Structure 1
Amino acid sequence: MVGFLRAFTAASAVPAAAVAAVALSSSSSSPSRPPSSRLRFPPPPSLSAFAASSSSSSAVRAPTAAPPMAAAAASTADLSAPDKGTALPELTTEFMVDMKCEGCVTAVKNRLQTLEGIQNIEVDLNNQVVRVRGSLPVKIMLDALHQTGRDARLIGQGNPDDFLVSAAVAEFKGPVIFGVVRLAQVNMELARVEATFSGLSPGKHGWSINEFGDLTKGAESTGKVYNPPDYLSEKPLGDLGILEAGENGEAQFSGSKEKLKVVDLIGRSIALYATEDKSDSGIAAAVVARSAGVGENYKKLCTCDGVTIWESS
């Protein structure tokens, strides 16, 4: 009787294991996911026999603690670029994180390693700097760092030693619409664009990089959509497509744009429109300013009151 029960239990575990293996195999083969360096776990005990006996199944991976968010962010906006819909290209991002000991370093590394899309993590405890190489948006990495209970701020982004100007930022400071747009050079043919907004009316809005940084009349005085003479396409290079705000007035975006050079955008502006076809005069605009690249903006944290002190090298 005992032998029968054992045989019955082992046989009943196989269909469930097969379903789990097929689901995980489909997930890992999706073309929209970039290569991942997340932690891999051994298969659960109940699946060990099946995994060992199946020649077509791979090791079962436990789901990460934090789900991939790049696809969710991209679904709320449309970037008018030839590579629309692909994963974010890899980039080096630097954060200043409040770390006091090797235990802090371990906690930070362990949390970041649970995220998909991170290829390498370097920690400089003396300068309280965490340098991450990967394809994740800044917001996801910042949220993960904050979940360790530590203060963290972005201090640089780009490819070290590759570009004279590798990063830029445009800040929308209200009084109604607040937000930040970050641009970072990946290579001479590609730039990353990340944006977060609040205060928008729900629905679709056009947004673009415009010719001028003149904000005397808001978005109306920023000129036409930026388009260099040598760019041949149906849409101007500066056309960022459509940004869709939710019912709470918030919108997030992360994507990439071919042929966009950050150095050519300094002093221009990013404009938001009430309509998706940009037929109105615009509802908000912000000037594109140079931002710190990797290794250019180390800062210290005052240990007496926690106030952050910025230091530009």
Structure 2
Amino acid sequence: MSTPTKVEFAVKMTCQSCVAAVKNSLRDIDGVQGVDVDLQNERVVVTSTLPTAKVQSLLESSGRSVLVRGQGPVATAASVGAQHLGAAVAIMLGRSGVTGLARFTQVEDDKCILEGTVDGLSPGKHGIHIHEYGDISQGCESVGDHFNPYQRPHGPPEAEDRHVGDLGNVEADASGRAIFRLEEKVVKVWDVIGRTIVVDGVEDDYSPAYKSTVRVACGIIARSAGLFENDKKVCACTGRTMWQEKEDLSAPAPQSAPMTSSL
């Protein structure tokens, strides 16, 4: 059975009808186990087994702007208060417009939820791995080999004896988008912060000879906020609100200065 997590969203709301629209967007959705809406603080906390991208898309279907603010475990009888064990995020950039985002949430000492999206892939399966170095000075080619602190053989994610960085495959649909959610027993957030997550251009066949030689996107894994740890509403650098910053990021780049990446 999938392990639920809590994700905190900032949702642009001004009235009770906004609250009703937000709740209706998640009503009767398989995988959504709870929704807590705080109008005053423009906060929605969702308990779910769905990838965050899917929950965000559902919230946006209400017609509101939505940002992810933090993530964490769900309180249980065995873990009253759901102590925050760590969270991380990686923004992936790469060849031919491949982009992605991965989120890590440590929900138990021996369980990490890894989920995210990758866009711009060729349809089909693509290997995904954590690599040993957080060095992208030469793009995805300078991140080293798979993270393998115990010197084990390469293998599938369900194997007991495999690289810590062996996460298996994500599968892109006909549009080139892969949405994934994995439950990892050997990945620890505190061990992978500062390393790099890489998406390959080919399927990982789990053979001992497999190497990540065709790397289409990568991103350094950085610490991110847990639940209620990010209360920023105005950027200290620019003075712009989080909603203005979101509009800036969503705006297309000027034709005279196209955005490029060295990855």
TM-score by length of 1: 0.64
Indicate how the Cα distance of structure 1 residues 155 and 306 shifts in structure 2: closer, same or farther if over 3 A, else same.
Answer: closer
Q: Is contact 1:204–1:244 with CA below 8 Å preserved after alignment? A: yes
CA distance in 1, matches of 2:174, 2:137: 30
Q: Which of 108, 112, 124 is matched with 1:191 structurally?
A: 112
Give the stretch that moved more between structures: 300-309 or 128-137.
300-309
What is the identity, as a one-letter code, of the residue corresponding to 1:158? G
Indicate how the Cα distance of structure 1 residues 306 and 167 shifts in structure 2: closer, same or farther if over 3 A, else same.
Answer: closer
Trace 1:202-281 onto structure 2 (pairs within 5 A). 202-229=123-150, 233-277=160-204, 278-279=210-211, 280=213
Indicate how the Cα distance of structure 1 residues 305 and 200 shifts in structure 2: closer, same or farther if over 3 A, else same.
Answer: closer
Trace 1:80-159 onto structure 2 (pairs within 5 A). 86-87=1-2, 89-159=3-73
Aligned CA-pair RMSD: 2.7
What is the identity, as a one-letter code, of the residue corresponding to 2:163? P
* Structure 2: segments with no counterpart, 5+ residues: 74-80, 153-158, 205-209, 247-263
* Structure 1: segments with no counterpart, 5+ residues: 1-85
Indicate how the Cα distance of structure 1 residues 241 and 115 shifts in structure 2: closer, same or farther if over 3 A, else same.
Answer: same
4+ aligned runs moved over 6 Å, structure 1: 301-305
**Number of matched pairs:** 222
Indicate how the Cα distance of structure 1 residues 271 and 174 shifts in structure 2: closer, same or farther if over 3 A, else same.
Answer: closer
Query: In the alignment, is residue 295 of structure 1 matched against residue 225 of structure 2?
Result: no
Q: Shift of the alpha carbon at 1:272?
A: 1.9
Q: Is contact 1:182–1:195 with CA below 8 Å preserved after alignment? A: yes
What is the identity, as a one-letter code, of the residue corresponding to 1:154? V
Trace 1:29-48 onto structure 2 (pairs within 5 A). none
Q: Shift of the alpha carbon at 1:154?
A: 0.8
Indicate how the Cα distance of structure 1 residues 305 and 137 shifts in structure 2: closer, same or farther if over 3 A, else same.
Answer: closer
TM-score by length of 2: 0.75
Indicate how the Cα distance of structure 1 residues 306 and 283 shifts in structure 2: closer, same or farther if over 3 A, else same.
Answer: closer
Corresponding residue number in structure 1 for 2:256:
none
Corresponding residue number in structure 2 for 1:307:
244
Q: Is contact 2:116–2:180 with CA below 8 Å preserved after alignment? A: yes
Corresponding residue number in structure 1 for 2:254:
none
Q: Which of 64, 80, 87 is matched with 1:167 structurally?
A: 87
Q: Shift of the alpha carbon at 1:261?
A: 1.2
| Local SS of the residue matching 2:215 | coil
What is the identity, as a one-letter code, of the residue corresponding to 1:292? A
